[in-house]
Homo-oligomer: A and B are copies of this chain.
Amino acid sequence: MRKTATLADIAASVGVTPMTVSRVVNESGYVHADTRQKVLRVMQEMNYRRNGLARGLKRQRTETIGLVVGDVANPFAAEVIRGVREVLTARGYTMFVCVSDQSVKEEAEAFESLADHRVDGMIVATRASRKGNAHLMTLLDANLPVVALGRDFNHPHTDFVSADHFKGGCDATEHLIELGHRRIGFIGIKQSYGAGLKRFQGYLETLRKHGIKVNEDIIVGRRKGTDQAPGYSTEEIGYEGMKYLLGLRKPPSAVFARNDFTALGAISAIKQIGRRVPQDVAIVGFDDVPLASHTSPPLTTVFQPTHEQGRIAAEFLLRRIEAVQNLPRAERVLPCKLIIRESTVSGTEST
């Protein structure tokens, strides 16, 4: 294996010191035009590529940030990634994405890897967990700038960006109640695990507000207690969950699903036994994925500004990275928006 050329190799070939070559590479300091030309030519010839490790080691920053997401198969993650990247590349930073597959262990490994490789900062968009939070703390102890996106993490030196999932959950539930529903199910999380899921809390709170007793029988979660299921199998959860609900003596007349894919799975189950959406069961999703307007019936759902969250998280992070001293915690909670389509309100031609 041929080794890659170094500054020293270039320098030797041109007849200058590595420092001069470094100046050419970084376009810093004074270099004579002729020298620059010669150096550039040789660099080309020798296929020079700078060594980011050495550079990072010396400069004590890598102009690199890490983004940790739990799962990558949904438009939510994709849009977050795009938003973050837009801001970062514009500022000359590179983003490395690590995927935890919703596993706390993998998440920890992602943290370690990114910290080891000395990213300048990190955006964490995985699901919150006790262990994950503990791990994050050790990073913060090492003064690594961190921004939490869409997950709780309360720390005086960590910024926080999220959509208002609680309010979104309220709005979705409120919408169903306004339509006259009283028996409203929830699919996607079990009662006991629901503490961290703001959408679910909004659902509970709104029911209570309207004097509707929360009925645990019509709240269904993942099968078999696995909390590890990758997000993109949520249509499965929606399908199974809805089948269960439809099998009850008194099925709910409306269901709020934790996200759009879960909602689509639920719709599939309803149609399969010949019932109609929304006439027999009304469905509300969450996220407003691009597909939601192209399903049958088109899905009533709660839009969240995903791309914007990514952008803001990136801006928070860069501000923190470039700050001379520790900044106080910044928070930003963006509003969601209920999008009413035909899975709750019978339209002109829902099939």
Chain A residues with a Cβ under 8 A of chain B: 1-2, 4, 47, 49-57, 62, 64, 71-75, 77-79, 81-82, 85, 89, 94-99, 101, 106, 109, 113, 115-118, 138, 141-143, 230, 232-233, 235-236, 238-239, 261, 264-265, 267-268, 271-272, 274, 289-291, 293-296, 325-326, 349, 351
Q: Do B117 and A53 touch across chains, with their CB atoms under 8 A apart?
A: yes
Contact A98 B101 (CB under 8 A): no
The smallest C-beta distance from A268 to any residue of chain B, in angstroms, reads 4
Partner of A4, one of B77, B143, B230: B143
Give CA–CA (A2, B54) in the complex, Å.
22
Cβ-defined partner of A143 (8 Å) among B2, B89, B95: B2
Most buried by B among A118, A138, A238: A118
21 A-B residue pairs with Cβ-Cβ distance under 8 Å, sorted by A, are A1-B143, A1-B326, A4-B143, A52-B118, A53-B54, A53-B56, A72-B78, A73-B79, A78-B232, A85-B99, A85-B101, A89-B109, A96-B96, A96-B97, A97-B99, A117-B117, A232-B290, A235-B294, A261-B291, A264-B295, A268-B293
Assembly CA distance A73 to B235 (angstroms): 15
Task: Determine the distance from Cα of A98 to Cα of B89 in the docked complex, in whole angstroms.
Answer: 12
Which B residue sits closest to A60, measured CB to CB? B3
Q: Nearest chain-B residue to A324 (Cβ)?
A: B1
A53 to B53, alpha carbons, bound, how many Å?
5
Select from chain B the residue with minimum beta-carbon distance to A272.
Answer: B349
Given contacts A232-B75, A235-B291, A264-B294, A49 and B116 within 8 Å (CB-CB): yes
17 A-B pairs besides A53-B54, A62-B117, A267-B296 with CB distance below 8 A are A1-B326, A51-B118, A52-B116, A52-B117, A55-B116, A64-B117, A72-B97, A73-B75, A73-B79, A75-B232, A89-B106, A97-B98, A232-B289, A232-B290, A236-B290, A268-B294, A291-B291
Copies of this chain assembled into the complex: 2
B268 near A295: Cβ-Cβ < 8 Å: yes
Asked if residues B99 and A98 are in contact (CB atoms below 8 Å), the reply is no
Tell me whether A116 and B73 are in contact (CB under 8 A). Answer: no
Docked-complex contact A351 and B271, CB < 8 angstroms: yes
CA of A294 to CA of B53, assembled, Å: 48
Chain B residues within 8 Å of A326, by CB: 1
Q: How far is the CA of A118 from the CA of B96 in the complex (A)?
A: 13
- For A349, list chain B residues within 8 Å (CB): 272, 274
Residues on the B chain within 8 Å of A118, using CB: 51-53
Contacts of A106 in B (CB 8 A): 85, 89
The 4 closest A-B pairs by CB, nearest first: A73-B78, A268-B294, A52-B116, A96-B96
Min Cβ gap A11→B in Å is 19
A138→B47 contact, CB < 8 A: yes
Do the beta carbons of A97 and B94 come within 8 Å of each other?
no
Cβ–Cβ < 8 Å partners of A235 in chain B: 290-291, 294
Q: Which residues of B contact A99 (CB under 8 A)?
A: 81-82, 85, 97
B49 pairs with A115, CB closer than 8 A? yes
Output the least CB separation between A334 and chain B (Å).
20
Q: How far is the CA of A106 from the CA of B82 in the complex (A)?
A: 11
Q: B294 near A265 (CB under 8 angstroms)? A: yes
Contact partners of A77 in chain B: CB under 8 A: 72-73
